[in-house]
Amino acid sequence: MSHSARFLGIAGSLRQNSYNFQLLEALQKSTAQEQIDLEIYQGLSTIPLFNEDMRPVEKRPAAVLNLCEKIENADGVVIATPEYAQSVPGVLKNLLDWISISPALNEKPVAILGGTTGIWGTRYAQASLRHTLVAMGAFTMQRPMVFVNDIKSQLPTPDQPISPDLEQRLNAFAHGMKKWVRLHAKD
C-alpha cells in the first residue's frame, strides 16, 4: 500500500483530560511519520446505553450509525483503553456492544494500547479487550504491545516533552499499525 492509511482512534474514557485520549494524540506524531492519517473519535459521550430492543437498523441511534460508518471508511482502528477493575471501562464495552451487532469491525485491522497511572499499564484491560475483539472478528495486532504504566509522567506537557521511552514505543507501534493494515489490505 503506497498511499497513506486511514485509522480511526478511539479512547475508552469520558474523562476530560483522559490520559488515554492524550496517548492517541501523542500517537498521531508517530503515525504521521508512517503516512497514517489518524482521526481521533470525539463522540464517545454521544453513544447511548446499549439496548437490544434497538437492534433493528432503523432503530439504531444516529451516533452509532455514524460511528460504524467511520469505522467502515477507515483502513484500521486503534483503541486506547484505560483499566477499570482489571478490565475495560464500561463506556468502551458499551460502544463495542453496539458495534458488535454490525459488521463494522469484522475483519477490520485493529491495534490496541493503553495506559494507567499505576504500575501495570492496562495488562488485564488489554487482554479483556483483545478477547472481545476476537469475538467480533477483528484482526487484532499482536505486536508490538504498548502497556504504559505511570502514564502521567510519560506523556508530554507544556513543560516537558514526551518520555523518550514512550516516544520510541509509539514509533514502533505506528510502524506495526502500517504493516498490519498492509497485511490485511482488501483488494
Ligand X SMILES: Cc1cc2nc3c(=O)[nH]c(=O)nc-3n(C[C@H](O)[C@H](O)[C@H](O)COP(=O)(O)O)c2cc1C
Kindly list the residues in this chain that would bind ligand X in the complex (CB under 6 A): 13, 15, 18-20, 82-86, 116-118, 120
CB-based contact 43:67 (threshold 8 Å): yes
**What are the C-alpha distances in Å from 83 to residues 53, 94, 127, 139, 147?**
29, 15, 11, 22, 11
Whether omega before 144 lies within 30 degrees of 0, making that bond cis, reads yes
Q: How far is the CB of 90 from ligand X (least distance, A)?
A: 9
The cell numbers describing 20, all together, are 488515554
Q: How far is the CB of 17 from ligand X (least distance, A)?
A: 7
Task: Give the Cα separation of 122 and 104 in Å (integer).
Answer: 25
Q: How far is the CB of 43 from ligand X (least distance, A)?
A: 16
Residue type, 79: I
Q: Which residue is nearest to ligand X (CB)?
A: 82
Helices (H), 34-163: 62-73, 90-100, 123-135, 151-154
Q: How far is the CB of 20 from ligand X (least distance, A)?
A: 3
Residue with smaller CB distance to ligand X, 4 or 87 = 87
CB-based contact 50:18 (threshold 8 Å): no
Residue with smaller CB distance to ligand X, 20 or 31 = 20
Helices (H), the chain: 19-33, 62-73, 90-100, 123-135, 151-154, 164-183
Residue with smaller CB distance to ligand X, 100 or 128 = 128
Residue with smaller CB distance to ligand X, 29 or 124 = 124
Residue with smaller CB distance to ligand X, 121 or 176 = 121
Q: How far is the CB of 19 from ligand X (least distance, A)?
A: 4
